[in-house]
């Protein structure tokens, strides 16, 4: 990935050739708490200028990974590197990173401007320079008119912007974001996603964000690491993670999906035939390493399923069903239909207006083999 152009003064001293190495790298990282292993041999690299998301369910270890980068935790084994320099023994305040917490961690007795200026004052920079940089930072997050207010006088979104400004003003190599939008309501969270994307693009710094919100990760990230039980299940672009999940966990966790479990009954070139215990036969896109008799999980996304009154001939998978539920979601219609053969209930997502069927009406569900993934359990 080519690093984007840096904003003026974003990095005051960039050593020659620095972009030849990742901004953040974890090498064979493990972490134990009281004898329990919570991080299990993690390797990852975050490239300069990237917006990198660490995504996973609660308790999977994603926040621990961020704290290891920040220096709030020390790895049990392995190395944490920033710009090629090992950071294991470097305390948080000496690392070229700044962290934005979900709780904002603002000083309630200081004004917005004083909160943002705090780090520069600790560095004993000249007052004139501090004033200029605070003004620039607040303008960057559109909070310049709130400089004299206190945190208690701000909304959640405004406090979040102040926390971002305070992190950005120190010109770190990496901004670490720990569930930064988790405390906001849905509408404000959407607005702040746009703001985060804008800030990332404008300042040109590397962002590493922890979140459990799939939509947030998909919409903001250049790449995503999906974490499960202290291990990385998959790293890839949002499109790769969504369209080509490598495991059943990733397919189930990212977005909405229909899952079946079955055994491989036939292999013909790039396609495989899977038979479920209920007797449903499915044609799926094959994967290297699949063998006859192997147990797999079959994944098909709701938006790949077509509803028709008659059976189709242009799709390898076509099954009789009965419509049991319809939900109107504004731009889309979400339906649930039960397969007549087995009783399996499938979710279908169609753009509005789509094909309309009355409830309990018989119909056919069809989808392509190339949109059906056979995943090794």
Tens digits of residue pLDDT in 137-169: 888 888 888 999 998 898 877 888 888 888 888
CB of 19 within 8 A of CB of 3? yes
CB of 133 within 8 A of CB of 120? yes
**CB-based burial label for 335 (10 Å; 0-12, 13-18, 19+):** buried
Maximum CA pair distance of the chain? 76
Q: Which of 82, 13, 3, 17 is nearest to 50 (CA)?
A: 3
Lookup: tokens for 66? 């961020």
pLDDT 10s digits, 27-60: 999 999 988 999 999 999 999 999 999 999 999 9
User: Percent of the chain scored above 70 by pLDDT?
Assistant: 94
β-strand partners of 299: 259, 373
Between CA 214 and CA 224 the distance in angstroms is 10
Please report, for the chain, the start and end positions of each structural domain, with discontinuous segments joined by +: 19-248, 256-376
Give the count of alpha carbons within 13 A of 203, CB side only.
Answer: 30
Helix or strand or coil: residue 217?
Answer: helix
Q: Which of 249, 218, 194 is nearest to 53 (CA)?
A: 218
In angstroms, how far is CA 10 from the centroid of its own chain? 25
CATH architecture of 256-376: Beta Barrel (2.40)
Instruction: Kindly tell me if the per-residue pLDDT of 368 is higher than 80.
Output: yes
Same topology, domains 19-248 and 256-376? Answer is no
Q: Tell the residue number behind the tokens 């979040």, with chain if given.
A: 160
Q: Which CATH superfamily is domain 19-248 in?
A: P-loop containing nucleotide triphosphate hydrolases (3.40.50.300)
Between CA 209 and CA 238 the distance in angstroms is 14
Q: Tell the residue number behind the tokens 């018989």, with chain if given.
A: 362
How does the average pLDDT of the chain come out, rounded?
Answer: 87
The average pLDDT across 268-278 equals 93
Helix or strand or coil: residue 191?
Answer: helix
pLDDT 10s digits, 187-239: 778 877 888 888 888 888 899 999 988 989 999 999 999 999 999 999 999 99
- Residue 19: the pLDDT is 52
Between CA 121 and CA 331 the distance in angstroms is 50
User: Among the listed ranges 242-246, 309-313, 315-319, 327-331, which one has the minimum average pLDDT value?
Assistant: 327-331
Distances (CA, A) of 235 to 43, 255, 296: 10, 16, 21
pLDDT 10s digits, 172-181: 899 999 887 7
β-strand partners of 345: 338
Phi and psi, residue 155, nearest 5° = -75, 170
In angstroms, how far is CA 77 from the centroid of its own chain? 26
What is the C-alpha end-to-end distance of the chain, expressed in Å? 31
Contacts of 363 (CB under 8 A, 6+ apart): 307, 308, 309, 320, 321, 322, 323, 337, 357
């Amino acid at each position: 990935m080519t690093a984007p152009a840096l904003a003026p003064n974003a990095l005051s001293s960039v050593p020659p050739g620095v972009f030849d190495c990742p901004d953040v790298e974890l090498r064979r990282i493990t972490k134990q708490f009281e004898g329990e292993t919570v991080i299990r041999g993690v390797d990852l690299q975050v490239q300069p200028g990237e917006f990198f998301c660490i995504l996973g369910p609660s308790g999977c270890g994603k926040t621990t990974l961020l704290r290891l980068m920040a220096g709030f935790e020390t790895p049990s084994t392995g190395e944490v590197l920033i710009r090629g320099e090992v950071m294991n023994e470097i305390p948080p305040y000496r690392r070229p990173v700044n962290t934005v917490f979900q709780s904002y961690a603002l000083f309630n007795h200081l004004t917005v401007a004083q909160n943002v200026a705090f780090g520069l004052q600790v560095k004993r920079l000249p007052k004139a320079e501090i004033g200029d940089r605070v003004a620039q930072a607040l303008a960057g997050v559109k909070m310049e008119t709130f400089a004299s207010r206190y945190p208690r006088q701000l909304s959640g979104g405004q406090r979040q912007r102040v926390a971002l400004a305070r992190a950005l003003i120190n010109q770190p190599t990496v901004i670490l974001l720990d569930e930064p939008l988790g405390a906001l309501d849905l509408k404000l969270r959407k607005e702040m996603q746009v703001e985060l994307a804008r800030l990332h693009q404008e300042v040109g710094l590397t962002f590493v964000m922890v979140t459990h919100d799939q939509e947030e990760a998909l919409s903001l990230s250049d790449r995503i690491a999906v974490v499960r039980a202290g291990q990385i299940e998959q790293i890839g672009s949002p499109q790769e993670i969504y369209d080509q999940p490598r495991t059943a966990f990733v397919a189930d966790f990212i977005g909405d999906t229909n899952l079946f479990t079955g055994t491989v009954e036939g292999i013909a070139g790039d396609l495989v035939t899977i038979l479920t215990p209920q007797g449903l036969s499915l044609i799926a896109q094959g994967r290297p390493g699949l063998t006859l008799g192997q147990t797999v999980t079959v994944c098909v996304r709701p938006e790949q399923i077509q509803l028709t009154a008659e059976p189709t001939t242009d799709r390898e998978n076509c099954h009789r069903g009965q419509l049991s539920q319809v939900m109107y979601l504004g731009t889309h219609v979400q339906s649930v239909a039960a397969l007549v053969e087995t009783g399996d209930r499938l979710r279908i997502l169609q753009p509005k207006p789509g094909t309309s069927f009355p409830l309990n009406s018989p119909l056919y569900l069809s989808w392509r083999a190339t949109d059906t993934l056979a995943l090794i359990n």
